[in-house]
Amino acid sequence: MASRIVVLGAGFGGLELATILSERLGDGAGVTLIDQGDAFVFGYSKLDVMFGRATPAEVRLPYADFVKPGVRLLRETITAIDPEARRVTTDAGVHEADVLVVSLGADYDFDATSGLAAGGNEFYSTAGAERLGDLLPAFTRGRAIVGVCGAPFKCPPAPSEAALLLHDYLVQRGVREDCEISLVMPFGTPVPPSPDTSAALLEAFAERGIEFVAGHRVSSLEPDRSVAVLDDGAEMPYDLFLGVPRHRAPEVVLESGMAEDGYVPVDSRTLETRFPGVYALGDVATVGVPKAGVFSEGAARVVASALVAQAQGGDQPAGYEGRGSCYVEFGAGRIGRVDVDFLSGPKPTGTFQEPSRELVAEKQHFGASRRARWFNG
């Protein structure tokens, strides 16, 4: 009898896992993929929306276009997870699983930063990027702060990209000289695992007159005074705030008893949780790698290989290596790349590829290849 595999979350991890299982096991894959949304959006597309390079409709990949043998994709809201029984309750019913994979990502905790919901704007959600896209044309003078409200956060290079692209945007509109840009980040450098990437970003900030406030997070906003308060009590006035909200595991995961210190601990090699037959991958898990789609995708390949081996009696995979590449927008039509390795050595390492127009094409291929693989187009 085929296993019932229930996958929660149709992001990078869930889509790749379901695709591999369909490819390898065909009609007998027995996969149920559940997500409350109706479309997938690449994280980097939110910057395109914010700066008017794409409309929200253009970056949406509807789940209706995800059609794979042996996979059911259901649009349902998950209301409870019982990891011991491998039972999932949704607003449409109950799903029993032989294998349960939790890939629900990280949610944004807007209330964790006082004043953010009322007086700031964030660009990490599609809706937030769309709102900022409407606000940016009115920003013609004063200080813009790109402010990180807590770590860990998805796609560590994104705040740096936002600051550099904001510079380009203001230059194109002829108002850059009347504006200041500050980037507040809780890390000592923009990309800690890669000193070369960090040095290149710091050089780009210096060339463009972007202030980098290292080692601090935005702890609150005071909208009435238009002031951002940092974690050491320092105050920074702003005319435009572009925030990275604090992250946390979805509430339904926290309520399930799977989480410790806010996320789900797993074996970093196998992605197994302490519950038999239950895996967690991607941003919802504590693995020792950044919260970024490419790492979710890599983890999904390991889990898929393990499940295929179980189904077909083959060898178990070697284990998750924690390697991935992230593209970094430097503005002026150039993109760099950092190749990072988090788990094979005593400490994380990163190799930097200098920004170039060739890497622009490579990033476009990254998105197009996954669109074709997951959504048949």
DSSP state of 316: P
Query: Residue 79: which pLDDT band, with cuts at 50, 70 and 90?
Result: very high
Task: Check pLDDT > 60 for residue 333.
Answer: yes
| 96 against 314, higher pLDDT | 96
Residue type, 337: R
At 308 the pLDDT is 93
Cα–Cα nearest to 335, from 323, 352, 322: 352
At 1 the pLDDT is 45
* Angle between helix 293-312 and 12-25 (nearest 10): 30
Task: Report the alpha-carbon angle 173-129-263, nearest 5.
Answer: 140
Q: What is the pLDDT of residues 210-219, one digit of tens each?
A: 999 999 999 9
At 119 the pLDDT is 64
DSSP state of 224: T
Which residues, 6 or more positions from 305, have their beta carbon under 8 angstroms from its beta carbon? 20, 316, 317
- Which two structure tokens, joined as six digits, stand for 262? 């806010």
* Average pLDDT value for residue range 225-239: 96
DSSP state of 256: T
Q: What is the pLDDT of residues 136-187, one digit of tens each?
A: 999 999 999 999 999 999 999 999 999 999 999 999 999 999 999 999 999 9
At 137 the pLDDT is 96
Helical ranges in the chain per DSSP H: 12-25, 45-50, 56-59, 116-119, 126-135, 158-172, 195-208, 251-255, 293-312, 357-375
Task: Check pLDDT > 70 for residue 221.
Answer: yes
Percent of the chain with pLDDT over 70: 99
Half-sphere exposure of 36 (CA within 13 A, CB side): 11
Percent of the chain with pLDDT over 90: 83
Q: Which residue has the tokens 């996958």?
A: 7
Mean pLDDT across the chain: 93
- 125 in Cβ contact with 248 (< 8 Å): no
- 222 in Cβ contact with 115 (< 8 Å): yes
Q: What is the pLDDT of residues 272-285, one digit of tens each?
A: 999 999 999 999 99
* Average pLDDT value for residue range 233-243: 96
Q: Which residue has the tokens 């967690």?
A: 280
Task: Check pLDDT > 70 for residue 366.
Answer: yes
At 346 the pLDDT is 79
Q: How many CB atoms lie within 10 A of CB 269?
A: 15
DSSP bridge partners of 237: 227
Residue 71 DSSP SS3: strand
Please, what's the largest Cα pairwise distance for the chain? Answer: 68
Which residues, 6 or more positions from 346, have their beta carbon under 8 angstroms from its beta carbon? none
State the virtual CA torsion across 160, 362, 10, 23 in degrees, nearest 10: -160
CA dist 7 and 15 (Å) reads: 9
Q: What is the pLDDT of residues 188-217, one digit of tens each?
A: 999 988 899 999 999 999 999 999 999 999
Task: Check pLDDT > 60 for residue 377.
Answer: no
CA dist 118 and 99 (Å) reads: 41
- 329 in Cβ contact with 121 (< 8 Å): no
Task: Check pLDDT > 90 for residue 316.
Answer: no
Query: Where is mean pLDDT largest: 136-140, 259-263, 287-291, 319-323?
Result: 136-140
CA distances from 85 to 32, 105, 304 (A): 17, 22, 21
Query: Residue 57: which pLDDT band, with cuts at 50, 70 and 90?
Result: very high
- 234 in Cβ contact with 220 (< 8 Å): no
- Which two structure tokens, joined as six digits, stand for 280? 């967690």
Cα–Cα nearest to 339, from 349, 331, 329: 349
* Average pLDDT value for residue range 222-245: 95
Which residues, 6 or more positions from 350, have their beta carbon under 8 angstroms from its beta carbon? 191, 193, 194, 195, 196, 197, 338, 339, 340, 341
